[in-house]
Structure 1
Amino acid sequence: MSVIVLTGIAGTLGRLLARQLHLDHEVIGLDRRDLPDRPKDIRVYTLDIRRKRCESLFRRHKVNAVVHLNIMHDFRRPQAELHAFNVLGTQRLLEYAARHGVRKFVFLSTANVYGARPDNPQFLTEEALLLAGEGFSEMRSLVSADMLVTSFFWKTPQVETVILRPAHILGTATNGPSAYLSLPCIPTVLGFDPMIQVMHESEVVGAIVAALAPGRRGVYNLAGPPAAPLSALAKYLGKRTLPLPYSVLRALAQRAWQMGVAEVPPPELDFLRFPCLVDDARARRELGFEPRLTLPQTLDLLRKSPTFRRSVR
């Protein structure tokens, strides 16, 4: 039975993935939070991955694979803290993997690292530049972490390294996309109706499991069902939209962000204007990843989430 270290095990994706992996593997969870309702055969250590104590786990256990989900997406944190946690923490894990003979390293990034831009092609391949940080400073630590793992992939061939860049993830987690589509009235940018790719969290878990198979390595975009206009997503969910001029919406978003009542920072409004669609052909071809859920099924599962149900009370 192989040993898999799973960082961020207390998060939504971490819990879902752990419950699937522990059936066939020995799972060791790392998180700053505990996971009290875990299966009994999963060990969880409440450690900061940047601390030296974390490396002792790699010394004590013959770790075969690392799945790194423990990335901070809370853009209210100072940029120095985001850099320290996301970039330096990832760097420490890569060092442990290289020093202790880990055979597989899977990193969950995001397709948002490409950035939503007016000059984007219809679909972005894995070779596209990661430009999200240019106008969105809060994204810089995520871009840097992705580039760090990609560099490790090229420089450390003895470790099978996989970088996954999923489209907007919907599900039970209170993340930006789920919270936005759960609003009672969805604000949009007047004159824009961008195509949007979404995928359910269970599909992301399936892609991670596929990436753990021997021989799979490289960078992979992930997408769910075919993209649809933002207006179509809102209509299916039974939501009204409120089109506003960009300058007005930007000012309102800035004020809401400062007051702590908005889930996403103002620069993310670019995703309501410009495309950021990924080409997932490589993942389908090399990982064998085929999304099972249709767009209506994905949105129906969002409807059942606590965040969405609270919005319709």
Structure 2
Amino acid sequence: MRIVVVGATGNVGTAFLRTLARDRPGDSILAIARRPPDLNPHAEQVDWVPLDVTSDSASYELRALFRGADAVVHLAIAFQPMRDREYLRAVNVDAVRTVARVCAEAKVPHLVHMSSGGVYAPGSYGVEVDESWPRTGVSSSTYSMDKAAAENVLDEFENAHPDVAVARIRPGLIGQYEFGSALLRYALPDIVPSGMVDHLPILPIDKSFAVPAVHSDDVADALVRVIDRRATGPFNLGGPTPVRAEDVAEAFESRILPVPHRLLSIAARVGFDTRLSAVHQGWVDLAFATPMLDTGRARRELDWSPRMDGPDVAREVIGGMRDDAGADSGVLRSRTAKDRLQAFGRRGFISNAKRP
């Protein structure tokens, strides 16, 4: 089987390539990323191509790369810079349209899109919902609204191209140990050292906090199963137990300071508006609006079950944050002091950064 992976250097992409190399050594993998890694640990099976999916030439280049593929797995996502809304939309929505259209033009029979449990409408916090729950997103979260808009793009595509099988993966919070540095890079200004997370005696958080989570390797396993079965439609993915405030505090070795989530949202908005923080309030709002995920469809149709539960995922990710863990990938690189200083000299606070 020939599989093309778009956006292969991120949290899910690295796990997916790792899983394919282990479980499907006979497959031919073409990995596409804006910045391919310097090292290729799967060189016998994986070929890399540098490509920016938002470039003017993306459609032309993808058409040649997609020819002969049995499946295209679209994982590309942009979280930063939060102030460059045009760029986020270009990656998170417009590129989905481009990839889908080129799949049809290149006669790719199967498109697998990485969506999110964040597409779901508020109104069922702490309660499991299945894939039929309204997917109108959380209005204050650009990530959520972009994911919802991307699924609307796929609705239109499926109606126009019924010959292409389309699957949508809707996981909860995805994490692995190597994602630790990337999370710190998103959340902290460049001048703030990573070691700060080792000194959090108090964690301000709403005690009602409860989010679904799933390990990157379990998402990768689901992707392989979707490809094997040429499955279509949406699939929720998450561990059976949500991540709660107590789990986060325990992992940071902190005491909980109960703060209503509305106050946390206001604090995040003030920090973002004053350019003291890169964290948009929408992330806080999303954390207190995303429901639990009923994964029955994935269990029945993919024979999928997570090997790691939600709280264990949180502990591993926070462990990676505390250890400044990373991988040989531009997206997942370690957040070293040299890296922070170079980034700050180049762009100032990360919240001021523009399109890379």
| TM-score, scaled relative to structure 2 | 0.75
Could you say what secondary structure the match of 1:90 adopts? Answer: helix
User: How far does residue 97 in structure 1 lie from its aligned partner after superposition?
Assistant: 0.6
Q: Give yes or no for the alignment of 1:72 onto 2:78.
A: yes
- Between Structure 1 and Structure 2, how many residues are aligned? 304
Percent identical: 22
Whole-Å separation in 1 of the counterparts to 2:251 and 2:52: 41
Deviating more after overlay: 205-214 vs 15-24: 15-24
Deviating more after overlay: 129-138 vs 6-15: 129-138
User: How far does residue 144 in structure 1 lie from its aligned partner after superposition?
Assistant: 0.7
Against the structure 1 CA distance between its residues 66 and 230, is the aligned structure 2 distance closer, same or farther, given a 3 Å change threshold?
Answer: same
Whole-Å separation in 1 of the counterparts to 2:259 and 2:239: 29
What residue is the counterpart of 1:270 in the other structure? 285
Against the structure 1 CA distance between its residues 81 and 26, is the aligned structure 2 distance closer, same or farther, given a 3 Å change threshold?
Answer: same
Could you say what secondary structure the match of 2:246 adopts? Answer: helix
Deviating more after overlay: 167-176 vs 293-302: 293-302
User: Match for 1:29 among 15, 28, 31?
Assistant: 31
Preserved contact between residue 118 and residue 138 of structure 2 (Cα < 8 Å): no
Preserved contact between residue 4 and residue 27 of structure 1 (Cα < 8 Å): yes
Could you say what secondary structure the match of 1:134 adopts? Answer: coil
User: How far does residue 210 in structure 1 lie from its aligned partner after superposition?
Assistant: 1.1
Q: What CA RMSD, in Å, does the superposition of the two structures yield over aligned residues?
A: 2.9
What CA deviation, in whole Å up to 9, does each residue of 1:194-239 have, x standing for no partner?
3321111111111111111133111111112322532244235533
Preserved contact between residue 199 and residue 225 of structure 1 (Cα < 8 Å): no
Whole-Å separation in 2 of the counterparts to 1:170 and 1:235: 17
What residue is the counterpart of 1:139 in the other structure? 144
Against the structure 1 CA distance between its residues 253 and 45, is the aligned structure 2 distance closer, same or farther, given a 3 Å change threshold?
Answer: same
What residue is the counterpart of 2:204 in the other structure? 187
Against the structure 1 CA distance between its residues 104 and 134, is the aligned structure 2 distance closer, same or farther, given a 3 Å change threshold?
Answer: same
User: How far does residue 32 in structure 1 lie from its aligned partner after superposition?
Assistant: 1.0
User: How far does residue 271 in structure 1 lie from its aligned partner after superposition?
Assistant: 4.3
What residue is the counterpart of 2:220 in the other structure? 205
Whole-Å separation in 2 of the counterparts to 1:67 and 1:84: 18
Q: Give yes or no for the alignment of 1:250 onto 2:265.
A: yes
Preserved contact between residue 105 and residue 159 of structure 1 (Cα < 8 Å): yes
User: Match for 2:60 among 24, 45, 55?
Assistant: 55
Against the structure 1 CA distance between its residues 12 and 196, is the aligned structure 2 distance closer, same or farther, given a 3 Å change threshold?
Answer: closer
The aligned runs of 1:172-183 (5 Å cut-off) are 172-173=178-179, 174-175=182-183
Q: Match for 2:84: what amino acid?
A: P
Could you say what secondary structure the match of 1:76 adopts? Answer: coil
Whole-Å separation in 1 of the counterparts to 2:126 and 2:211: 14
Give structure 2 stretches of 5+ with no counterpart. 189-196, 326-356
Q: Match for 1:249: what amino acid?
A: L
User: How far does residue 74 in structure 1 lie from its aligned partner after superposition?
Assistant: 2.2
Could you say what secondary structure the match of 2:29 adopts? Answer: strand
User: How far does residue 309 in structure 1 lie from its aligned partner after superposition?
Assistant: 2.4
Q: Match for 1:37: what amino acid?
A: L
Preserved contact between residue 212 and residue 310 of structure 2 (Cα < 8 Å): no
Q: Give yes or no for the alignment of 1:124 onto 2:129.
A: yes
| TM-score, scaled relative to structure 1 | 0.85
